[in-house]
Structure 1
Amino acid sequence: MATVSLRQGDLVWGKLGRYPPWPGKIVNPPKDLKKPSGKKSLFVKFFGTEDHAWIKVEQLKPYHAHKEEMVKANKGKRFQQAVDAVEEYLKKAKAKELVRNSGEDKGKQAGKKGEGKAKKAPGERKRKSSASGALSPQKKSREQSPRKRGRPPKEEKDASPPQPSSLKKLAMKTVSRFSWPPPTSEEDTAGTSWLIHGHRTLGTEMVLKKPSVTYQAISKRLKVSEEDTGSTSIQAADSTAINGNVTPTDKKIGFLGLGLMGCGIVSNLLKKGHTVTVWNRTAEKKTSGGVDSEVWDQDENRKCDLFIQEGAHLGRTPAEVVSTCDITFACVADPKAAKDLVLGPSGVLQGIRPGKCYVDMSTVDAETVTELAQVIVSRGGRFLEAPVSGNQQLSNDGMLMILAAGDQGVYEDCHSCFQAMGKTCFFLGAVGNAARMMLILNMVQGSFMATIAEGMTLAQVTGQSQQTLLDILNQGQLASIFLDQKCQNILQGNFKPDFYLKYIQKDLRLAIALGDSVNHPTPMAAAANEVYKRAKALDQSDNDMSAVYRAYIH
């Protein structure tokens, strides 16, 4: 089998994980981006997206040589758009080549004219010289000295961008092994966002699907940072990736908890063809000796019925779901609910067997998730924490952001599930890291919401238009979907929950405790927390977090 050496500028088909092959171009990686260890990889920019990735050489094939088979095998709309983008790129490259060749032809013609002038009779040159006496000797010298034949003028040569290597040569050969030549230019690295960086010790990164255009405008860069703890954060932007169709895992999936987030997640798992068994708890207030307590509802409640109609199976208890499924996800309200789900009667722990996987998607503190991981692993189970960032609408749209930590093998096994429910995944290393990161994220979000409410009320009491304030904010650096939606809630007086106020207050409380545990001050979060507590006292717990506005007007 012939050997092909790929280099910068070559067009290729790149295979990333379980995604279908996608057309791309080999480019230089950013200077501060570390190349993954292990097998040789090349940095590829994918067409039809803003995505880049390190791709192992054995997962690369020359574009032209394999175009026909790839186009036959993939019929998706985004795939076709990517192929069209390649063809458009080739047209532009051909046009540049014509311009360059035209410059060469002009150079040749200029050379011939110069030679003809050199052969003119001395008398004729003398007459022309006297007729144009205003010309300087230097200019005459340039006019009479032809350029080297076949070479374009320097200005034209400099204006021509670097050209990719010969595609014809690649089309004649089959890939078996590739070499990684040293970069020759900075082509395609300036002004572009880069997307993912493989880290072998921490496993697979996942960029799952394309966010809305507005999200693309808000986040246009990615940053990879390796902490001293060994965790890796992979922050994605405009993650169209190589979405294609989701290929559902053949593993049986369980899901415990059908709240605002859980319902959207399960719906998307079913839509993408996963086999799902569901179970839900209903929190009822029962009085026993004057003490309120939460009890499990094991009946076929209405939420479960809706998903059973869509093809889900019903589990009678958490233990039954875990024992009959390969991977069981759980998404509940708080640390107490998460512990009760695992440790309570007919709980998860009773159904755990060696090899069973448990993925907790609840937003809890690191101590709680570490305790759960320990008891699951003690029974031979495998544990992953994967709290999600987003709201009800993003959950319904399958556009959540997933922060994962724990068993890397489980993380990889969850690939198709994460692809169905989210737009981006981050693997953060050891258990507890995802919980800490999620609390920090929600601390920032909750504090920001309180500040928005404070600004809107201050505008009102000082005679300023709240709508005008929103218009100004939407034109400034703070513009975001979050800001616009929450301000619209305030303007319309509509606080239908998209993210419960009681849950953001819970996250602020846990984030403050996280700061206390390391003696780190969190005065802004503490102030915001007090405002949310005031809103809860005004009976706003089950409204959207934007109802914190009412704490300022009462």
Structure 2
Amino acid sequence: MATVSLRVGDLVWGKLGRYPPWPGKIVNPPKDLKKPRGKKCFFVKFFGTEDHAWIKVDQLKSYHLHKEEMMKSTKGKRFQQAVDAVEEFIKSKVSAFTSSEDKNRHISSDGKRQNCSTAEISEHSTRKRGRPPKEEKDAFPEPSTVKRLVTGPVAGYKWKSESCSAIIQKLKTTAEEEAESTSIQAADSTATNGSVTPTDKRIGFLGLGLMGSGIVANLLKMGHTVTVWNRTGEKCDPFLQEGARLGRTPAEVVSTCDITLSCISDPKAAKDLVLGPSGVLQGIRPGKCYVDMSTVDPETSTEISQVITSRGGRFLEAPVSGNRQLSENGMLVILAAGDKALFDDCSSCFQAMGKKSFYLGEVGNASKMMLIVNMILGSFMASVAEGFTLAKIASQSQEVLLYILSQGPLASAFLDQKCQNILQGNFKPDFLLRNIQKDLRLAIAMGDSVNHSTPMAAAANEVFKKAKALDQSENDMSAIYLACNQ
């Protein structure tokens, strides 16, 4: 709860959604930006980022009064950088105020000494009632120069300064001047807390597993017209109740939709979906688009691309980095490669399901990158499970181990979630163990294909294989802990 009466110019800790409290300053919003209905809120500029958002008053605390508390509860490099930015801001205000006072004392005709205490220049010092002072350095640009960030319960804006895309484009240009390289572009999403303008294209979706279900839910939530198909038909029912249409076969979905996306478990299933009876290929004709979001090997992705384009279709591989929870929250990371125009056409879909999407060039690049990402993820999970096993055997508290890890450089939501699974003995699937083992296997094979050994991944793969032998395939990847205890 807010502990003091707040107003424009105050420094605060603001909490937005699932993110930790972050230091910011209450500022005046752009003239044409309406306040969200409901509870009282303030427009906050966050330090250490270029983000701005409407924050409800009960999610705001005085910066000065709660600084010690927040510094203890939240850690991380970006957080510290944000706090440093606040302190620099305060110092600059102190310096400016002191300079002004020195000048006033110098020109004062009555020679009276004017005193200024730290409290008097604090952002929460007592002020006279009336209109808040004009902002100069923190004045907002006109609405045409800002980019929409989030809406819904909060509405935020981001300065139209050098975006991630612009920075990556500069790096790309530099690299191209030195040698030919893969083009990389990144696009931010507004889906998590805001609204997306849905494409007017008809969207199809094949595969309603742990990832696909969350993706489709967010596509519908953001207003897309979606036709669904799943091998087990009853999984479609909840989405039909939310307005989705039903496709009887993959071929029917492709033939009736402009863009069809799929998310399948492995390379064999991905190829069967395309080449099998009543499969995707039977619905492909010139102009039809197919986006494979499965994590497969680059050879499989290339094969699918070739058969789709041979029929005049357009193809994009777009595997996703994340888990069930991130899928449900619209926080996936999409790695895409292939038809660039199709990547652009999928913009609203990617915004609805993820927080960032990357375009990585020709088909195969996204598959390779995704396998590398998941190889690192699986190897890390194996190390965590091994560490918790050793702690138990060495009579050390696993709870204390988690607390120590959470205060250091490994701190992350992933670490906390997986360690909590181990502590509670609850391995409800969020990222299927069999899928991470499949990704490790494919990554090792990719290394072999370029004569590069991956000994860490190979060791982790063996432990995951042992966990599969213990009937943990359908549980979460953190169930590898059970194999470490054998």
CA change 1:175–1:422 in 2 (3 A) is closer
3-state SS in 2 of match to 1:401: strand
1:399 aligned onto 2:349: no
Deviation at 1:371, TM superposition (A): 1.2
SS at 1:328's partner residue? Answer: strand
Name the counterpart of 2:228. 278
Structure 1 gap ranges (5+): 1-47, 51-62, 114-162, 177-192, 206-223, 283-300
- Secondary structure at the counterpart of residue 81 of structure 1: strand
For residues 468 and 426 of structure 1, the distance between their equivalents in structure 2, rounded to whole angstroms, comes to 38
What is the alpha-carbon distance in structure 2 between the residues aligned to residue 349 and residue 80 of structure 1? 53
Report what 2:182 is aligned to. 230
Following the alignment from structure 1 to structure 2, what is the Cα–Cα distance between the partners of residues 175 and 254?
34
Q: Which amino acid aligns with 1:495?
A: F
Scaled by the length of structure 2, the TM-score of the pair is 0.69
Q: Quote the Cα distance in structure 2 between the aligned partners of 1:515 and 1:541.
A: 24
Rg larger in structure: 1
| SS across alignment from 1:362 | coil
AA aligned to 2:33 is V
Equivalent residues, number: 382
Q: Give the secondary-structure state (helix, strand or coil) at the position aligned to 2:43.
A: helix
Quick one: structure 1 residues 166 and 359, their matched pair in 2 at CA, closer, same or farther if it must change by over 3 Å? closer
Give the secondary structure class of the aligned counterpart of 1:442.
helix
Q: Map 1:408-427 onto structure 2 (within 5 A).
A: 408-427=340-359
1:534-545 maps to which residues of 2 (within 5 A)?
534-545=466-477
Q: Structure 1 448/324 Cα, relative in aligned 2: closer, same or farther at 3 Å?
A: same
Distance 1:308 1:341 in 2: 22
CA deviation after TM superposition for structure 1 residue 355, in Å: 1.4
**Distance 1:461-1:431 versus aligned 2 partners, 3 A rule:** same
Task: Work out whether 1:198 is the aligned partner of 2:158.
Answer: no
2:210 equivalent among 260, 274, 277: 260
Q: Contact 2:321/2:332 (CA < 8 Å) preserved in 1?
A: yes
Distance 2:286 2:222 in 1: 28
CA drift of 1:266 comes to 0.5
* Structure 1 counterpart of 2:257: 325
Q: Please give the secondary structure, in 1, of the residue aligned with 2:452.
A: coil
Give the structure 2 partner of residue 245 of structure 1: 195
After superposition, the Cα gap between the structure-2 partners of 1:280 and 1:430, relative to the gap in structure 1 and judged at 3 Å, is same
Q: What is residue 60 of structure 2 aligned with on the other side?
A: none
1:225–1:532 distance in 2 versus 1, CA, 3 Å: farther
> How far off its partner does 1:464 sit?
1.7
Give 1:71 shift. 2.3
SS in 2 for 1:197: helix
2:11 corresponds to? none
> CA RMSD for the aligned pairs?
4.0
Which residue pairs with 2:4 in the alignment? none
> Secondary structure of 2:335's partner?
strand
Distance in 2, matches of 1:461 and 1:94, equals: 55
Residue 71 (structure 1) aligns with: 33
The alpha carbon displacement at 1:105 in A equals 3.4
Q: Write out per-residue CA displacement over residues 84-132 of structure 1, whole angstroms, 9 at most, x where no aligned residue.
A: 9699x9x99999877655444334349x98xxxxxxxxxxxxxxxxxxx
Provide the C-alpha distance between the structure 2 equivalents of 1:349 and 1:166, rounded to a whole number of angstroms: 55
Match of 1:526 in 2: 458
Q: Quote the offset at 1:241 in angstroms.
A: 9.6
* CA distance 1:201–1:458, shift in 2 (3 Å): closer
Rounded Cα–Cα distance in structure 2 between residues aligned with 1:461 and 1:95: 55
Which moved further from structure 2: 332-341 or 98-107?
Answer: 98-107
**1:277 Cα deviation (Å)?**
0.1
| Secondary structure at 2:199 match in 1 | coil
Q: Which residue of 2 aligns with 1:380?
A: 312
Residues 539 and 67 from structure 1, CA distance in 2 versus in 1: closer, same or farther, beyond 3 angstroms?
closer
Amino acid at match of 2:338: G
CA-CA distance at 1:485 after TM superposition: 1.2
Deviation at 1:250, TM superposition (A): 1.0
The higher-RCO structure (CA 8 Å, 6+ apart) is 1
Verify the 8 A CA contact 1:460 1:466 in the aligned structure 2. yes
User: Does structure 2 conserve the Cα–Cα contact (< 8 Å) formed by 1:330 and 1:359?
Assistant: yes
Percent identity reads 63
1:484 corresponding residue in structure 2: 416
Measure how far apart 1:364 and its partner are. Answer: 0.4
Q: Which residue of 1 aligns with 2:363?
A: 431
Q: Aligned partners of 1:371, 1:330: CA distance in 2, in Å?
A: 16
Q: Which amino acid counterpart does residue 183 of structure 2 have in structure 1?
A: S
- Separation in 1, partners of 2:100, 2:355: 45
Which one-letter code corresponds to 1:536 in the other structure?
Answer: K
Equivalent-residue separation in structure 1 for 2:93 and 2:462 (angstroms): 64
